[in-house]
Structure 1
Amino acid sequence: MSIRTQDLVWKIGKKIILDRVSFEARPGRMLGLLGPNGSGKTSLLRLLAGLKRPHSGEITLDGKDIGSIGRRTIAQRVAFVEQHATTNANLRVVDVVKLGRFPHRSMFSGWTLADDQAVEQALECAGMIDKRNAPWQSLSGGEKQRAHIARALAQSPKELILDEPTNHLDIQHQISLMRLVADLPITSIIALHDLNHAAMFCDELIVMQRGRIVASGTPDKVMTETVLRDVFAVDARVETSPHHARPHIHYLP
């Protein structure tokens, strides 16, 4: 067991944003989170990262209630790449990635060999070794996203949470980023807009609508023409490749 929620409820004022959300993210698997705008995806991710507290229900990490775990301890194992992450434009890439080591360091501790190794491994894993000394403002959109992921990986997390990381990237960088995340040997939960990317790369999917989970399971079970029509309001034909169980969506005019 990695991350698990049970009857999770979160509100803004009297408005229910998440309504009795229950699921489990299995270790080492990539879980895709889908749903129209306003379905509660970002709110759920922020709760999973420990940035907000639920009004009721439970979130557990390896069976332990997240509410009983200190914020620093959560940050040592759960890394969150937000949709609109910002970075000081005067920093180099390696300095950005080093920020990921803060949860593992005390106020008075110096930089260690373990910190250096974690940063170098994160840069290599994210494919940013060649850009380690590049100034932030010189990076492309795809490179910036990879640098944000490298910073998250420098935390040495067991779980990686990403909120629509492929937004505003060209198709080449979208595919490259999805391959990067899919190949990581850790649990990942990723909110996505592109349904075909979710079907192609994710091991399991959750579909949300108005704060509730309306479908969950493997891509071939979740990506049905009924779900696409009822949740996303699109007419489409879903085909499954004879070479693998991954569905592909063909949108109809």
Structure 2
Amino acid sequence: MSGFRIGQGSADVSYVALGDSFTEGLGDPHPDSGSLPQGRYRGWADRLAEHLADHAAEVRYADLAVRGRLIRQIVDEQVPRAVELRPDPVTVCAGGNDIIRPGGDPDQVARIFGHAVARLRGTGAHVVVLTGVDTGFQPVMRHLRGKIATYTMHLRGIADAHGCSVIDLWNLRFFQDRRAWNRDRLHPSPEGHRRLALKACEVLGVPVEGRWDEPWPLEAPLAWRAARQADLHWAREFLVPWIGRRLTGRSSGDGLGPKRPNLERLR
């Protein structure tokens, strides 16, 4: 496995994040989002870069992720740019938008993902692969669990074959709590993003304060009626618009570019 370890006062770090809305940071509004273009989000990748900056002499960071991107778009638009930037490390979270669509084939998506990882590893970069999340706890998304599990097993095999690290989202139990998710039930909440960044630090060997697996405070479960009302609100506000975009061939990322297209110094 390729190695990436960071210590106090270590050499400069160039970090690039690839993916879709999960990596762009949706669900975690940036503290200064009101003054930034595109409703700037923070997210786990930004938080990881900030942790890296606590230990490296200098961190240069690019986040090429764009909401709504499919695997081929990520491979065509983001991977060549990452290869050009020659970063170390690189995180890759991709394919989720393909898998949740009707007819999405996890075997085919994984093949495309594997080619992308091989190209990134060819630069000598340490590549970190993020798996799918176990959706068994979500009533509406539960039917996708088998496809996501299949894709996740492919991703673990790809990571093993190419010497990549893995952030195993499938087995992160904190994601089984509704407080880890934004109201749209597709993107982590600020707390979910914070915990995921801590897990990424653990995988990369970055010292941090706090635990990603800290138990959630006890909370009374929603009453049946309140839970159903929440489901109806979610369907009206998020599910129906998502279906509408699918039917019309639109994407939430149409017309948008990456929030950090270049390696820029952090802090």
TM-score, length basis structure 2: 0.32
More strand by share: 1
More helix by share: 2
